[in-house]
Amino acid sequence: MKNRYYLFFSIMILLIALSGCSNNDQAKMSKNQEPSDSEKKVELTVSAAASLQDALNDIKGSFQKEHPNVIINYNFGASGALQQQITQGAPVDLFFSAAEDKFEKLVQEGQIEKEKRKDLLGNELVLVVPIGSSKGIKSFKDLTKSDKLSLGTPEAVPAGQYAKETLENINVWKAVEGKVVYAKDVRQVLTYVESQNVDAGIVYKTDALISKKVKIAASAKENTHDPIVYSVGVIKTSTHPKEAQIFYDYLQNENSLKTFTKYGFKGLD
């Protein structure tokens, strides 16, 4: 009887010991499998002017190869609309604006720190018409020949603001104002021209270059509108300031600037 008792007691001790080892092993495995800070996935939201779409998507691919733990999510749109979203508390990590005044509002509000902002790029304003157009529109003054023309809503779309300035300065605005079809951003202007829903549109040169359905009829002289400046900055309330700073710096490196140039942008330095 005693032998049976000792045997049972020994088996119980062995099972308890094995169970303890198993739990320790699982704890060690769980600890080893837990990702380090450098391996944890971080998502950044970048609000950017619609005209930057192709260049930024190109840069995103190369950036994520070097920083696989940082996922870039873009929110493209009109700079004015994006600025208002940020002012109203939208969760954004970086802002890349095509309008200096919209960007400066966020700096003045304290949303972007002065040491974490950069005037990075320039662009040109151009008049585009559909390929094969027979309207004879070869200059901005020729817009009086159009039945419909498109530009971005000046209050929200920087390209629309520059377009209106140009037309006012060459004394054409009053003659064409009633023919204008307003668009939410420059890409929509481009779409209207490509589909021939309008006879002409005013966009950035970078947008015109990506389309095979439009041709550039004329370029606006620099003295007819305010300077076109693209500014980028880190939002002060970013939940991932370290990673936001990394992407901010990456946008300014030599390879990124070459990519911007490839898409028609101009460096400001």
Same domain, yes or no: 65 and 156: no
Per-residue pLDDT tens digits for 126-165: 999 999 999 999 999 999 999 999 999 999 899 999 999 9
Q: For 73-78, what is the mean pLDDT? A: 95
Structural domain boundaries enclosing 190: 125-224
- The answer to whether residue 143 sits within a structural domain is yes
Distance in angstroms (rounded) separating the CA atoms of residues 73 and 46: 6
30 annotated as a binding-site residue:
no
- The answer to whether residue 9 sits within a structural domain is no
Same domain, yes or no: 215 and 129: yes
Answer yes or no: are the C-beta atoms of 158 and 49 closer than 8 Å: yes
Q: What is the pTM of this model?
A: 0.79
CA distances from 246 to 15, 46, 86 (A): 52, 13, 20
**pLDDT value for 267:** 87
Residue 67, Cβ neighbours under 10 Å: how many? 16
CATH number of the CATH domain containing 69: 3.40.190.10
Answer yes or no: are the C-beta atoms of 232 and 251 closer than 8 Å: yes
Distance in angstroms (rounded) separating the CA atoms of residues 181 and 251: 34
Distance in angstroms (rounded) separating the CA atoms of residues 174 and 150: 15
Per-residue pLDDT tens digits for 17-42: 555 544 554 544 444 454 455 568 99
Same domain, yes or no: 93 and 116: yes
Does the pLDDT of residue 204 top 80, yes or no? yes
Q: Which residues pair with 122 in a beta bridge?
A: 229, 266
Same domain, yes or no: 130 and 206: yes
230 annotated as a binding-site residue:
no
Same domain, yes or no: 218 and 234: no
Residue 121 CA, chain-centre distance (Å), reads 13
Same domain, yes or no: 180 and 237: no
**pLDDT value for 10:** 53
5 annotated as a binding-site residue:
no
- The answer to whether residue 48 sits within a structural domain is yes
186 annotated as a binding-site residue:
yes
248 annotated as a binding-site residue:
no
The structure tokens 């605005």 sit at: 173
Q: What total number of domains does the chain contain?
A: 2
Same domain, yes or no: 69 and 138: no
Same domain, yes or no: 71 and 198: no
